[in-house]
Structure 1
Amino acid sequence: MASLVGAAGCTKKQSAPLHQSQVKVQNTVQGTGNLVKDRKAVAAHLEMLARGVAGVRNANCVVFGKYAIVGIDVDEKLERSRVGTIKYSVAEAFRKDPYGIDALVTADMDLAQRLREIRADVRQGRPVAGFSEELADIVGRLVPQIPRNIVPPEKPENTGVNNRLQPAK
């Protein structure tokens, strides 16, 4: 027993490595990282890039913060898969651009029209009002209406009008 205790004391102590560091690698593309200083110039730049993609007839861009939404106009007769390919090509072109890397690209006709209207409001000096009005319209179209959630209006009291539906004659 004494030899075991003595032998345990004779083992060599393992020393901790002096410098243990880990290197973490992440593949990224550098975005703007900061708020855009000249929104009009960035919007015009991204619109030009989008128009340079085959199949894009026109583009409208709205910039807010370091982000942008770009609506592209394409031929309405194109198949959905072709529209998706064009939209992807625009996103690829933006990926190589520091202002386009964080942009959202849409080919939805209604959303593109809303972006045109926001852009016009910005040019007329109404960026906040224009944006909030159009955003309300966009959300109103996106949110589904569920028949179960519809609350019928209360019957007006004593109007003298029969509110029952009558069969068509």
Structure 2
Amino acid sequence: MYKWLASLIIIAAAATGCTTAANKEPSPSPQHNQSIRAKQSDVKKEITDPKQVSAHLEQIAMSVNGVQNAHCVVFGNTAIVGIDVDEKLERSRVGTIKFSVAEALHKDPYGIDALVSADIDIAERLREIGNDIRAGNPITGFAEEMADIIGRIIPQLPRDIIVPDQAETGGQDGAVANY
């Protein structure tokens, strides 16, 4: 009962404009004669041809100064772009290039929500996924590469290792298994 009453009071306060007074913002009226500016929401296009969008986003990424190559994988309405840069660059410069790619993609309706990575391993895996997709194995290739990516990200904790029972292995006490 109290939750409904509290919700009703909050809604009524918002409807009467108490929030504007609390923020000490002038209400839009002719006497203030200020133009009201609303931030335009970024328009994202629906991806209907993943191969075309992938090639398009790769071209945008490669147009950025410092990007040697780019690999893009599109799944659903999301794109992941991996970029290759000179391996001798400092980390800060790589970050600047990655930001520049993200900025360039932000201006494109297909790239607005793309994920950008400058990690060498991720870029290589994206290239392999792209090759698998072009070879007609999108699901298998994607699943294998994602398993490899996750395997590299997730740490192996010694506590989580399950040592097989001696009866199963036929080993002796204190034997160390070679993995």
TM-score (norm 2): 0.73
Supply the distance in 1 between the matched residues of 2:71 and 2:173 (Cα, whole angstroms): 48
- Residue 135 of structure 1: SS of its match in structure 2? helix
Segments of structure 2 that go 5 or more residues without pairing to the other structure are 1-27, 29-35
Percent identity between the two aligned chains: 58
Partner of 1:28: 41
Call closer, same or farther: CA 1:28–1:165 in 2, change over 3 Å: same
Partner of 2:56: 45
Deviations, residues 101-126 of structure 1 (Å, cap 9, x unaligned): 01100000111111011000000001
- Residue 57 of structure 1: SS of its match in structure 2? strand
The 5-angstrom pairing of residues 67-146 of structure 1 reads: 67-146=78-157
Supply the distance in 1 between the matched residues of 2:93 and 2:139 (Cα, whole angstroms): 35
Shift of 1:37: 1.4
Deviations, residues 44-87 of structure 1 (Å, cap 9, x unaligned): 11111111111100000001111100000001111110000000
Partner of 2:3: none
Shift of 1:99: 0.5
Supply the distance in 2 between the matched residues of 1:84 and 1:68 (Cα, whole angstroms): 19
Bigger fraction of residues in helix: 2
- Residue 156 of structure 1: SS of its match in structure 2? helix
Task: Name the larger-Rg structure.
Answer: 1
The residue type equivalent to 2:163 in the other structure is: P
Deviations, residues 3-35 of structure 1 (Å, cap 9, x unaligned): xxxxxxxxxxxxxxxxxxx99944321111x2x
Segments of structure 1 that go 5 or more residues without pairing to the other structure are 1-21
The residue type equivalent to 2:42 in the other structure is: V
Q: 1:154 aligns with which of 135, 143, 165?
A: 165
Q: How many positions carry a matched residue from both structures?
A: 143
- Residue 109 of structure 2: SS of its match in structure 1? coil
- Residue 129 of structure 2: SS of its match in structure 1? helix
Q: Is the 8 A contact 2:84 2:123 kept in 1?
A: yes
Shift of 1:152: 1.4
